[in-house]
Amino acid sequence: MSRNGIGIKTAQVRSQRVVGQIHVYDGAGKGKSQAALGVVLRSIGLGIHSCNDTRVLLLRFLKGPGRAYDEDGAIKALQQGFPHLIDQVRTGRAEFFGPDQISRFDRLEAQRGWDIAKGAIASGLYSVIVLDELNPVLDLGLLPVDEVVSVLQSKLEEIEIIATGRGAPQKLLDIADLHSEMRPHHHPTAEMQGIAGIEIYTGAGKGKSTSALGKALQAIGRGISQDNSHRVLIMQWLKGGSGYTEDAAIAALQQTYPNLVDHQRCGRDAIVWRGQQQELDYVEAERGWEIARVAIASGLYKTIILDELNPTVDLELLPIEPIMQALLRKPRDTEIIITGRCHNPPAYFDLAEVHSEVYCHKHYANSGVELKSGVDF
């Protein structure tokens, strides 16, 4: 019997795969590079708190020096805290360009990045390789698609490959084990009322909580690079168990950068089925919201992640109106990130400055492939 359940199993009760997969995050919506950063965070957390070798390469196409990007501070913070676990390479020029503006330099830089990628894939030194903005590089014709596909298909079995950016070619999508498309939704209410700093990630695809983790990293990096206090609260619903690899990663960040990250979670260590909610589910949801409500009103946090709030509301464990009021009254310089799938979009979606629906085209779990700690959870 199939049921529409909402909840997350803990890592402790999961068997997991060994074979690495090919992930593609594309689409016009926001959250693609953030999702890659979230996987990096999970992988680093696993590497710190296990005996596994977990080294990450973050290879960024079309993001040459001379231009600042949101993820720069986050990567700097990771490299400063964990220099033995992450390498970064940037290629390309600083400014945007279209198909009719391609220069010899653009082609040389794309090839330089791809040569580095091929060497990294062949070396076996990395467990996760992020090819950030590879998709538009292929879409612009800066690299031969057939060669890229061939190299990715022949990768070492255990390596996880993550390709991001708009315009992923069909041949790349054909070999992908996971394909999540970020679809943007625009809310005129937020624009007309001048509401800013609220981002929502929903949908059935992989990348929602992962994007939120990436956003937390960006916030921490921004605070460090600007020498400002940029505290982050990560509040998670429906995750009352233990054994998530983001716990280890967040704990490592707290140890390296004290007083920057607070982490709370609530819920039972079980899937919550629609129509079978228990009293404890309501109590835990309310407890989590009280923490979040006070945090939003206080102004002490510059970024607040409300992870899995959407399904919590969808299951009617929390009323919508108090959430609406808290979001409308939040300090202007506080960012709120809300994640999770839901069947019935709540009214607070209209307040979102950024709303990305993560649409699942393909997921290896649907083919019977088991999940992997440090990547999937």
Residue 178 — φ and ψ, nearest 5°? -135, 135
Average pLDDT over residues 347-351: 97
Which of 59 and 39 is assigned the larger pLDDT? 59
Q: Between vectors from CA 170 to CA 165 and to CA 171, what angle results, nearest 5°?
A: 105
pLDDT digits 0-9 by tens, 286-309: 999 999 999 999 999 999 999 999
List of residues 6+ apart from 34 with CB closer than 8 A: 71, 210, 211, 212, 214, 215, 218
pLDDT at 225: 64
pLDDT at site 57: 95
pTM equals: 0.86
Q: Percentage of the chain surpassing pLDDT 90?
A: 58
Both tokens of 64, joined, read 């040459």
Distance CA 158, CA 85 (A): 17
Sketch out the chain's domains with CATH numbers: 5-180+362-367 (3.40.50.300), 188-360 (3.40.50.300)
Answer whether residue 374 shows pLDDT above 50: no
Choice between 369 and 274, residue whose per-residue pLDDT is larger = 274
Say which residue, 40 or 184, is predicted with more confidence. 184
Residue 245: exposure state from Cβ atoms within 10 A (0-12, 13-18, ≥19)? buried
Could you tell me which residue, 271 or 29, shows the higher pLDDT? 29
Pick the closest to residue 219 from 131, 300, 139, 335 (CA basis): 335
Tell me the Cα Rg of the chain.
20
Give pLDDT tens digits for 57-74.
Answer: 999 999 998 888 878 877
What per-residue confidence (pLDDT) applies to 82?
Answer: 81
For 226-259, what is each residue's pLDDT tens digit?
A: 656 688 999 999 988 776 656 766 777 777 777 7
pLDDT band at 339 (very low <50, low <70, confident <90, very high): very high
